[in-house]
Structure formats: structure tokens, C-alpha cells
Amino acid sequence: MKNRQVNIGIIGLGTVGTGVARILLEQKELLTTRSTLSFNLKTIAELDWNKDRNLDLSQVNCTTDVDELLNDPEINIVVETIGGYEPAFTFISKALKNRKHVVTANKALIATKGMELYKIAQENGVDFLFEASVGGGIPIIKGLREGLVANRFESIYGILNGTTNYILTKMHRDGLEFDEALKGAQEKGFAEANPTLDISGGDAAHKLTILSSIASNSFIPFDKIYMEGITGITKMDITFAQSFGMTIKLLAIYRAYKDGLDLRVHPTLINNSHLLAAVSNELNAIFVKGDFVGDTMFYGPGAGERPTASAIISDIVDLSRDLLLQEGEKYCNRAISLTQNVQLIPIEDVTSRFYLRFMTKDIPGVLSMISGVLAENGISISSMVQLESHEKDNYVPIVLLTHEALEKSMERALQKIVKFDFVKEDYLRLRIFEES
Amino acid sequence: MKNRQVNIGIIGLGTVGTGVARILLEQKELLTTRSTLSFNLKTIAELDWNKDRNLDLSQVNCTTDVDELLNDPEINIVVETIGGYEPAFTFISKALKNRKHVVTANKALIATKGMELYKIAQENGVDFLFEASVGGGIPIIKGLREGLVANRFESIYGILNGTTNYILTKMHRDGLEFDEALKGAQEKGFAEANPTLDISGGDAAHKLTILSSIASNSFIPFDKIYMEGITGITKMDITFAQSFGMTIKLLAIYRAYKDGLDLRVHPTLINNSHLLAAVSNELNAIFVKGDFVGDTMFYGPGAGERPTASAIISDIVDLSRDLLLQEGEKYCNRAISLTQNVQLIPIEDVTSRFYLRFMTKDIPGVLSMISGVLAENGISISSMVQLESHEKDNYVPIVLLTHEALEKSMERALQKIVKFDFVKEDYLRLRIFEES
């Protein structure tokens, strides 16, 4: 590294790329004060140069040719901000093969192709960081990997998706149905035009894959993570949850047991006394329980130009320290092993407390039939609410909270219950969060 | 560094030292997996070897002679856990002069002698870390210095002292007076036999000094920080705060303005909707607002053997990475300048909303006299509560919440109000937290 100057290339000048460029330009002196290094934004590769981004790029090489950046021997660190699988994967691999460190916020890519990219990085003696991929501006990956390095992680759980948290907050506070809340979120820019990845739990599962890999020091296959979205939740369920003193949140959950990891993403009822119940709108928060530190929480904005760029810059500064390391002494791929295999516990074998909401005909014996099936499957009820009928078709909601039960017992019971002709097919089963 | 083995010496085997030794022994393999380095607990210097600490020290050189450790050329990192000013200062300086990196949790020492120690470290090309000195196991220093490196810090505020937070929680939840709550905290081990440093706000001010130094990249003189403790708060004040939908917390506050830093520690009324209001018992939490990241929060255990040791180990692993750096390329004293001077805003010039509680004789005209003095000083009242007399001496509490007012105006008004013969001398003035 010449004169302690780090040369940086950015691929893509969308929201995140613009934020990164802005910090490199606006906070240049601050970063030097704090790191004793000089950060030079050398090249930006972007196809659309017509958009006004309110940036002074007069000192930056602006190109449409990514190879110009990838093949520049002076560039030390490449920041990929275009997102998606391709051409991002190709660009990142090429950068690593050209012995450049890479920083990205591309959670979908890391969750699915992380192992391949790590292997390439390792073979080429460079590093690959992605703090911004989980929790936006919150330094959660650094927290797990460095701040809490002394700990085996017993549980990690939290709100990792801002879109669904915004929707659920609106449903709770303004009494909206899911569709109305989604529409409002789209209008305010908190949900994409195609919101599937967020509302299905997929985005949170990508992030959980990444956190779990770091926490367990092993690659976790994304497709093995159990996930459920929030589309089945109605205004009525929110009201019931509130009547029990609880809030519905989409939680990503990591729990380490002797026989493996329990990893899942699903909407969850959580007691209002828990700090996570108060994490609202588009904000993210992650609880981390380590065997030495105990319970910690990290909270902040999970997305957006400026928070995401803040996290990317943190990776850039860290990698620049690595640039000072001697060859052969590098810290490549720290904290994730390429070989270790961790056992995952299948969802069927997980135990939870449940919230069950059925729409049933308002006729005698309904409750005894339903509770009978639950009892047959060893599931006991802790509380129950049955409301009077207001609907024309004479269906009324019955809500049951259960004690702890095995998922497979619950599944068996539900399959039997929905076959009753007095029960509508669209029931809802949610899990209730319990401290581990 | 030979064979990537890091040799560690610990000075002091009290609570924290025992925790550090425990992690180095019990998590040895985990630390190697995560860092590719091997951590060897070589020597412990301690005067009292009779106590049973439930540690297997058969592979460790146990001595009563600190010099044996300080003069051992094989030892790379020295952990100081004895606390206090002397002999801690002498031991740390000697270790630094012998070119050993140093880790400590000694907040009193860093807050008051940090600059001297930093200078010695810099002169000797070694580093000096103290993650455990603020927020116990919470990686807040790493968060500020590395995770949020891209940000100018606009405000930092939070609960930095577990003892006072425990006492205030008990006063809120169990309706205790201060003395009763303190006694309970002492019995449970959450308060020292001599609790002065905690209840005066001194410990929180030490920690604020450290955070402020890092956040502003300058040494902040501890004795310039305004502080008030919690001893004047009564059960009655807690009840009033609750009636306004607020909670009383001892907050440490950092606010950066164009003309300087506003730094203070004092009990504060905070709205119950704020996450900090829900941080209870001995827990700590710190809000950090950066110009790019926005609002983040770090939460967790602020003290204790295991959390404090977790933070110390994080420093040890970080320093071990520095050991891989080439000579002359070290990152000494990152993030704190030895020369820069930051302007501090004197408390008189700070603006706050206030909570005022007077005990006054139950006679006509009292309220108009008090509010008259406030008005004369440009202070306007936002709400007021006056209770009927239940006390034999016919004194009743009057509580006023004000709009924003200058401290010096408030001080002037208070000096006049307490001179009224119908007002008892022991009034209470608290500040109300407002989002900046």
C-alpha cells in the first residue's frame, strides 16, 4: 500500500453506491483522522450516468466499463452495490481473483453463494466482508465476530426485515389489514413494488443464514432454513395478540442445542414487556445471547442509503488494516470454516408455544371437538377466547394459546381439525416467543 | 509472533481477572477457530493464591511477582484487572515501556490518566485497549471506533451505570425510597459497600469521558464533565414522573454542537415510549446517533465477571491481529488524537426542559409567587401538579414541568424561589430528556 493510500472502486451507483461515494468524499478527513490512512475513491463503474446524484465526482474516474475497475492494479478494494445474483457474482469473483478485497451488502448472494466466494477469496489471499448485508447500519456482524468473539452463541433472535416490521407496526397502531398496510408501505418507499422476498420471510432468512454462519463458524445452507411470511396475519389476529398483552413480530431465530441448530423465520407473538416488542416501523434489532456475555441487543436502521453506506465504510476501513498485514499473515475468511458441518434440527422436532385462530360455525360442541384433537396429540391449552358471531355467514373466531408442544404434533392435530366441516380452511397458527 | 501463538499475562485474579483466565482456558479452541491464532495464558501475578477460583491453573505460571510478568520477553499482551489508580498506573506504564500491548477495564484510570498512558503507548509502538471499561460486555467502544467509523457523532446518551439503574428500577417497581433501594442493591451485590462513586454519577462520568474521547477523537478532561447523582430523588418524585408517563434514569449525555460538546451525567426524566425507559435493573444501554447511520442502540450487561471478561478477550484478539502487523505500520492510538482540543459547553449555557418539585406551605398565593419568578427569568411552565396536604407540618409538594430553558436562567430562578419562607430548602430539579 503506497503512502498509506487505499484506492477504492465502486461497482454500481444506485442508492447504496451513492451513499458509499458520499461518505468517501464528505468524510475523507474524518476517516484519515480515525485510521491514519487515506481513502481515495478512484473509479466508479455505472451504466446510467444521466441521473443527478448530488455528488461532486470531478476527481473520480467515472466509467461504464466494469473491467476497467476490476483490472486496475492500483485498486485495493472493490465495493459491489448492484445487488442480485448476476452479474454481481461474476464481478465479485473476478475482483477476488485479481487479488482485490471485496465489500458488498448483497445478502441474497452471500446467503446462497457465500461459500463459493469465500473459497475464491481464500485461494487468492484476499478477504470478503459484508457488514451491511445484515441489519443495515447496525454493526452486528462485527459484534458477533469480534466484539463477542469470546462467546459460544446460545441464541440470536430479532427483527431483520424492515419492510415487514413497518407493515406489522401499521397493522398494530392503525388497525389496518395486511393489504392496506402493504400498500401504505409501498407508497412510503418501505416496500418494493414486488414485495414477495420481504413478506415471505425470504429476506430475513437470507440474513439469518449469514448471522448463523458467523455465529456457528460454518456455512449454513439457506434452503434448509424454515420460513413463514406474514401474509396470513389479519387485523383480527393483531387484536387478539394485543388482548393477550403481546405483539406480532416477524422474528428470525437461531438457537444452539447439543444436537444441532434450530433456525427459523416466522411471525411470532412476543410479550409486550420484551424490548423487541417496542422496536417499530422499519427499524431492526437483534438479541444475542453468548455463554459469557449473557444477553445483548443491537438496534438501528436496517436499510437506506446512509446507514448501509456507513456499514460498508466500516468494512473498507477494516480491510485497509488488513492491507497493512504482511503477505501470508492475512486473516482471510475469519470466523467461517469452509469444511465444518453443523447439524440443523428439522422444524418437526422443534417445540413451541402456539397461537391458533380458527373461524368456526357458531354451533354447540365446536370447542370440545377442537380441544379434543389437541389433547389426543398431547397438546394442552393455556388460554382460550371465543367471540360472538358478527359475520353474516355465522363464522366466529376461536383463539387458543397452547403450552409447549412439538411442531409435528401440532401439524398432525391441525390436519385433523381443518377437516371438520364446521372449521374454515384458512386458520392461522403462530408461534409464541419464549426466552430460552 | 512465533507460531501464531500469543502469550498473555494477567495482573490480578479478582472477579474480572478470573473471568479472563476462564475464557482463555475454556474457550481456547473456539478462539483459535475464530482467529487462526493460539492464545496461551502464560503467567498470572496475584498476591492472594489461597482463594478457590474453580480454575485449573496447572499449565499457568502463578506468581506473586508482577515484574516476572512485566519483564518476560515472551509475553505479548498484559491484562491489568486490579483496578484503581496505583499500582495499576505503574504496572501499565511499565508494560507499555516494555513494548507489551495492554488491555484493561480500569475506567477510572483511563478517564483520568488515559492521555499519559496513550502517550507512553505511542512512544513505544504498542497499543492500549479498554473495551470492558464502558458498558461491560457490550461492544460499544468497538461499535463507535470501528462499526460506526464513517460517522460524526451527533449524540450519544444512555445508561452507563448498573448500580444506579438497579436502584432506580427498584424505586419505580417496588415503591422504595432511595435508602431502602440502595440497601437492597448492596445485599444483592449490585452496589458496593461504599457506593459513593456510583450514586454520585462519578462512575458514569468516567465512562462518558471515555466514550466522548473516542467519539470526538480528542481527550476529554474528566473534571470538566458536569455531574449530578441520584441521592436527592424520592419515592414521591418517581410517582410524579410516572404520572407524566415518564421514568427517571441516570443518563450520561454527549451532544455535539458547532460551538462544542455538551457533556453531562444527571438523573433525567425520559418518556416511557423511549426504549431506554425499558432498560431495567443492572443493565446498560447506549444510544448513538451518527450523521450517516442515524439512531442505533447497544444494550447488555454493564458489569460482572463473565461479561467484562468477554470484552477483554475481544481486545486481546484484536491486539493479536496488530501483532501480525509489520513494525512501523501499527495502528497505535487509533481514533484519539493527543493534541486536538475540543471546546466544552459549560452547563450554564445548556438548554433543557425541567422537572421542579418544591415542598411548600399550603397557603394561598404560593403558585403565583413561584410561577412569577420563573416568568421573570423567561421560563414558561408546560404542566403543573399540586397535591393536597397529608403531612403534619402542612407542607405539600408542587411539581412543575417547564418548556425549554437555559440552565443559568433556571439557576437564577431557583436561588430566588428557595428564599421564599414558604418553600422548604430541599427542592428537586431534574432535566427532561428531549430527542435532539
pLDDT tens digits along A202-245: 999 999 999 999 999 999 999 999 999 999 999 999 999 999 99
Q: Do B295 and A300 touch (CB under 8 A)?
A: yes
Q: How confident is the model at residue B386 (pLDDT cuts 50, 70, 90)?
A: confident
Single out the residue of B12, B35, B40 nearest to residue B25, CA to CA.
B40
Domain-embedded: residue A200: yes
Helix axes of A107-123 and A202-216: crossing angle, nearest 10 degrees:
30
Mean pLDDT to the nearest integer, B78-106: 97
| Cα A211 to Cα A265: distance, rounded to the nearest angstrom | 13
pLDDT in tens, A360-380: 998 888 999 999 999 999 999
A363 or A412, which is more confident:
A412
Distances (CA, A) of A370 to A145, A383, B121, B273: 47, 14, 71, 40
pLDDT score at B326: 53
Q: Which amino acid is at A401?
A: L
The residue annotated as part of the active site, out of A107, A207, A249, A289, is A207
Q: In this structure, are A267 and A316 located in the same domain?
A: no
- What would you report as the CA-atom Rg of chain B, rounded to the nearest whole angstrom? 24
Residue A401 pLDDT > 70: yes
The residues, ordered by sequence, that sit 6+ positions from A90 with a Cβ below 8 Å of its Cβ are: none
**How would residue B332 be classed by pLDDT, with cut points 50, 70 and 90?**
very low
Residue B332 within any structural domain of the chain? no
Predicted complex ipTM: 0.95
Dihedral angle sign, alpha carbons of residues B212, B283, B275, B312 = positive
The answer to whether the CB atoms of A139 and B148 lie below 8 A apart is: yes
**Within this chain, do residues B73 and B110 fall inside the same structural domain, yes or no?**
yes
**CATH number of the domain enclosing B395:** 3.30.70.260
User: What pLDDT, in 10s, does the model give residues A258-274?
Assistant: 999 999 999 999 999 99
For residues B4-32, give the mean pLDDT: 96
Residues on chain A touching B299 (C-beta within 8 angstroms): 275, 296-299
Catalytic status, residue A249? no
- Mean pLDDT of all residues belonging to chain B: 93
Q: For A60-96, what is each residue's pLDDT tens digit?
A: 999 999 999 999 999 999 999 999 999 999 999 999 9
| Residues on chain A touching B311 (C-beta within 8 angstroms) | 147, 293
Residue A168 lies in a domain: yes
Find, in chain B, the residue whose alpha carbon is nearest to that of A150. B310
Q: Is the pLDDT of residue A336 over 80?
A: no
Q: Do A35 and B297 touch (CB under 8 A)?
A: no
Residue B308's closest chain A neighbor by CA? A293
Q: Are the Cβ atoms of A334 and B33 closer than 8 angstroms?
A: no
Residue B335 within any structural domain of the chain? no
Taking CB atoms within 8 Å and a gap of at least 24, the contacts of B240-244 are B240/B355, B240/B357, B240/B385, B240/B397, B240/B399, B241/B269, B241/B355, B242/B172, B243/B385, B244/B269, B244/B383, B244/B401
Q: Residue holding cell 444510544? A: B287
A338 belongs to a structural domain = no
Confidence of residue B394 (pLDDT cuts 50, 70, 90): confident
Query: Of residues B42, B170, B207, B289, which has the active-site annotation?
Result: B207
Looking at the partner chain, which of B296, B310, B324 has a beta carbon nearest the beta carbon of A329? B324
Q: Does B34 sit within 8 Å of A335, measured CB to CB?
A: yes
Query: A400 burial class (0-12, 13-18, 19+ CB within 10 angstroms)?
Result: buried
How far apart CA A401 and CA A383 sit, in angstroms, is: 5
Task: Name the helix (H) or strand (E) containing B97.
Answer: helix B88-97
Structural domain boundaries, residue B359:
348-432
Query: Binning pLDDT at 50, 70 and 90, where does residue B333 land?
Result: very low
Q: How many Å apart are CA A24 and CA A435, to the nearest integer?
A: 42
Indicate the residue of B30, B36, B335 with minimum beta-carbon distance to A34: B335
Bridge partners (DSSP) of residue A357 are A399, A428
Pair B106, B6 in one domain: yes
Using a CB-CB cut-off of 8 Å, the residues of chain B touching A299 are 275, 296-299
A34 and A159 both lie in a single domain: no
**Which CATH number covers residue A45?**
3.40.50.720
pLDDT digits (tens, 9 = 90+) for B189-218: 999 999 999 999 999 999 999 999 999 999
Of B27, B292, B329, the CB nearest to A306: B292
Cβ–Cβ gap A314/B148 under 8 Å: yes
Cβ-based contacts of A285 with chain B (< 8 Å) = 297
Q: Which of A71-85, A155-169, B26-40, B231-245 is the least confident region?
A: B26-40
Secondary structure letter of residue A71 according to DSSP: T
Q: What is the pLDDT of residue A166?
A: 97
A104 within some domain: yes
- Using DSSP bridges, classify how beta strands A77-80 and A5-11 pair: parallel, antiparallel or unpaired: parallel
The reply to whether B195 and B242 lie within a common domain is yes
Is A301–B293 a contact, with Cβ atoms under 8 angstroms apart?
yes
Query: Structure pTM?
Result: 0.96
Closest chain A residue by Cα to residue B274: A278
Which residue would you say has higher pLDDT here, B175 or B395?
Answer: B175
Output A386 or A26, whichever has higher pLDDT: A26
Stated as kind and residue range, the H or E segment containing A162 is helix A162-174
Q: How far is CA A433 from CA A106, B209, B269, in A?
A: 29, 39, 31
Whether B172 and B295 share a structural domain = yes
pLDDT tens digits for A378-389? 999 999 998 776
Contact B296 A295 (CB under 8 A): no
Question: CA nearest B325 in A: which residue?
Answer: A325
Mean pLDDT of B258-275: 97
* Mean pLDDT to the nearest integer, A112-123: 91
pLDDT computed for residue A324 by the predictor: 73
Bond before A87 cis per omega within 30 degrees: yes
Contact B361, B422 (CB under 8 A): yes
Residue B33: name the closest of A202, A214, A246, A117 by CA.
A214
CB contact under 8 A, B298 and A293: no
Residue B228's beta-bridge partner residues?
none
CATH of the domain at B156: 3.30.360.10
Q: Is residue A342 part of a domain?
A: no
Q: Length of chain B in residues, anyone?
A: 436
Provide the mean pLDDT of chain A.
Answer: 93
Measured distance CA(A62)–CA(A57) in Å, rounded:
8
Are B174 and B273 part of one and the same domain? Answer: yes
Same domain, B13 and B162: no
φ/ψ of A260, rounded to 5, equals: 145, -170
**Co-location of A240 and A366 in the same domain:** no
Interface mutation target, options B1, B103, B299, chain A, most CBs of A under 10 Å: B299
Q: Are residues B148 and B187 in the same domain?
A: yes
Percent of chain A with pLDDT over 70: 94
Distance from CA of B63 to the nearest CA of A (A): 25
Instruction: Residue B27: list chain A partners with CB under 8 A.
Output: 150-152, 292
Q: Among A19, A275, A293, select the one facing B306 at the smallest CB separation.
A: A293
Chains A, B: CB pairs < 8 Å: 206
The whole-number pLDDT of residue A363 equals 85
Report the number of distinct structural domains present in chain A: 3
Q: Do residue B166 and residue B23 come from a single domain?
A: no
**Residue A329: inside a domain:** no
In a shared domain, residues A410 and A316: no
Asked whether the predicted pLDDT for residue A332 surpasses 50, the reply is no
